[in-house]
A and B are shown apart, each in its own frame.
Chain A
Amino acid sequence: MKISDFALREPVVIGSDATVAETAVLMRTSGVGSVIIVDGQAPVGIVTDRDLVTRGLAEHYPTDGRIDGLMSTGLIAIDAHRDLEDLVHVFRDHAVRRVPIVDHDRVVGIVSLDDVMVFATEELSSVARVLAGQIMFPHASDEPKTPVPTT
């Protein structure tokens, strides 16, 4: 399965010259806990609501200060045409919970570890239903067909 086939969340992005307060407002209005920071269209970092608290509030960072002073850099991303398995490897190999999906260097979506977990759980329950059916009706496909009456 390709990542582009996965139900991607619409990326919420903001420019690197935005303020902390503007970023917080965007999080509230968009209902998200993380925002990708972009320079033009290219992602340069990510900020989570936790970053706003631990690096902003706790460090008395001004709310009118630039958001790129709080963001995490060294962004690990993945191409939209890669497989879901590759995405799982990214989560396994890197200490991240959200991965931006890119098409060339443009952000087209974001996927979280929670999204993958929900998807995997749904897939597993589908398999479980098939298995339960086979256990409960083991010979359903072996039943003789209705004989054709002969005259």
Chain B
Amino acid sequence: MFANVGDELIIEGHRVGEPRRVGKVEEVRGDEGGPPYLVKWDDTGRSTLLFPGADCRIEHAAGTTTRKDS
């Protein structure tokens, strides 16, 4: 997984009726855009450190790179 500061991080709900969680990447702690990420969640307004799983995807912000080698 690769992310830049400012990218949107999305975790879809795991059960029917459970809303998706959306946050913004505030810090990239791993090497070369890798996890963990400090994410500010839209629903709580607070930041947590996330080691993302397979249910997580990144929406790259406009103007940021989408791959570490691009």
The chain A residue with its CB closest to the CB of B49 is: A77
Take A73-B55, A74-B56 as given contacts and tell me if A105 and B50 are in contact as well, using a CB distance cutoff of 8 Å: no
B52 within 8 Å of A by Cβ?
A: yes
Partner of B51, one of A44, A93, A94: A44
Range class of the A interface residue count: 10 to 19
Task: Find chain B residues with CB under 8 A from A74 CB.
Answer: 11, 50-53, 55-56
Tell me the dominant secondary structure on chain A's binding face: strand
Number of interface residues of B (CB under 8 A): 17
| Cα distance, A43 to B56, chains bound together (Å) | 16
The proximity string for B residues 20-43 relative to A, scoring 1 for CB distances below 8 Å and 0 otherwise, is 000000000110000110000100
Take A104-B29, A105-B30 as given contacts and tell me if A45 and B49 are in contact as well, using a CB distance cutoff of 8 Å: no
The proximity string for A residues 76-95 relative to B, scoring 1 for CB distances below 8 Å and 0 otherwise, is 11110000000001100110
Take A43-B51, A44-B51, A74-B56 as given contacts and tell me if A102 and B44 are in contact as well, using a CB distance cutoff of 8 Å: no
Rank and list the top 8 A-B pairs by shortest CB-CB distance, nearest first: A73-B53, A74-B53, A75-B51, A93-B44, A77-B49, A76-B48, A43-B51, A89-B46
